[in-house]
Amino acid sequence: MNSLTAPIGHADPAPHPSLTVRNIVASVRVADVLDLDHLARVIPGADYNMQRFPGLVYRRTSPKFAGLVFASGKVVLIGVRHPDAIPPALAALLEALQTAGVDLAPDPRLRIVNLVASGSLGAEVSLLKLAVALDLENVEYEPEVFPGLVFRSEGGGVALVFRSGAVIVAGTLSIHQAQAVSDEVWHLVDRAGAWMRT
């Protein structure tokens, strides 16, 4: 246990920084095997170059996403900005594959594998003071290598915290989990007295 188990006082910034989803990555198996050469020829806009990347890249603008399609039958959706946009993105990709002649697996189960969100803690943060207060527990802080502090939440997820108060949360599976990590960081900064006054 470190010295942050008891509150040290309250700072001015809001205790629940709001986050904006920047990217959701989801995966699904749609078939046992896929012929990527064939799909690249028949799906408009599909990009496949085995020398550059082992999968076919399928991009859409409405809904906006990219689908990474692999010969193993696995598909990864990237670039989705809201959980509600996942079903229409998947439907668009499945329709393109089905139109290309793919015999789709019945009832493919999509799962979110990563959600990235960003926001602000509401004030500048003394990263050195925070790192020292955390006794480097679950923390990486090497300002010569990276300008932010990396905090690994025991509840899952990683937060990149910057002096400006900006925070990026990754490695979570939902906006609620990302918000919990962000809130945890806010409370750790507050307990450490690491808010910078201007």
Whichever domain contains 35, its CATH number is: 3.30.310.10
- Is 123 found in the same domain as 102? no
Domain with 56, as residue range(s), is: 31-107
pLDDT of residue 29: 98
Number of domains comprising the chain? 2
Cα 134 to Cα 45, 106, 137, 145, 187, distances in angstroms: 49, 49, 6, 20, 12
User: Residue 9: inside a domain, yes or no?
Assistant: no
Q: What is the DSSP letter of 81?
A: -
> Quick check: 25 and 112 in contact, CB under 8 A?
yes
Within a domain: residue 26? no
Q: Give tens-digit pLDDT for 28-55.
A: 999 999 999 999 999 999 999 999 999 9
The Cα–Cα gap between 146 and 168 comes to 14
Residues ≥6 apart with Cβ < 8 Å to 32: 73, 105
Are residue 42 and residue 99 in the same domain, yes or no? yes
8 in a domain, yes or no?
A: no
Q: What is the pTM of this model?
A: 0.87
Among candidate residues 39, 74, 107, the one where a domain is terminated: 107
**pLDDT, tens digit, 9 for 90 and up, residues 140-165:** 999 999 999 999 999 999 999 999 99
